[in-house]
Structure 1
Amino acid sequence: MTTPPERQAIAERQLCGLVDGLAHRIAEHVRERAATLGLTASQATALREMSGPMTMRDLAERMSCEPSNATFVVDKLEKQHLIERHPHPTDRRAKQLVLTPEGAALRARLLDLLSVDSPVSGLAPEEQGMLRSLLERAVTSR
């Protein structure tokens, strides 16, 4: 017979496995959709997160990566004329990343593609909201 701490450990391990499985399904979904647009998963993630002008540091945080990795991705997107670097309006040392019109159009297509058959699309909107709330609590609690 398992003790309460052992049961808790098993439950947490199972929950972590489910979250990990969902993360893998989401990553695969992004990879597949990105490929249809000629993008890598990292480029698609950057475009998805570019909801407005932002610094490289902000983008890296949203992408959950180091700024140097985000820089590599942005360099590629800039060569494709999807993102431009502009002077930051209040910080002379920083650059602001801005989508070009082509980048904004591609982002819109990407967002449409990502919404089709996503790993969470089987959940009702209120279930998605509950999942979001629970994950936010888990990520921010300490």
Structure 2
Amino acid sequence: MANLLETVAKNQRFTTLISAVETAELTEILQSPGPFTILAPSDEAFARLPEGTIAELLQDIPKLQRVLLYHVLPGDVRSDDLAQIDEAPTVEGSVIAVEQQDQKITVNQAKVIEQDVLTDNGVIHTIDRVLMPALLAGE
């Protein structure tokens, strides 16, 4: 089985995410033993951001790192686990809200559209929006 980084890199739906992770120099964390859980925004999720947001983030590495680490949860958090909790801490340091309604899971209003992609060092859930830490959302 591949690690988190290799698994995300093989999927054509995550080209923007991989580019951002490489720019932010966060490849090491996704290759480390972990385990970690990635809430992985698809390319479509990044395309939903206001125009210029991605370019702005790519120019501000500390901010980009915070945004990306806000999508990473410590531990192996599967969909069964998400269904039983109201919130989860992120590697960035903030907490995300988790809801389950009608068998669908959302994190901070982002829908989990693919669940439980297992890797050597964790699990990946694809989400339909890019999550922004509260402190950055207002900047």
TM-score > 0.5, shorter chain as reference: no
The structure with the largest strand share of the pair is 2
What's the TM-score once normalised by structure 1's chain length? Answer: 0.23
Q: Which has the higher contact order (CA 8 A, sep 6+)?
A: 2
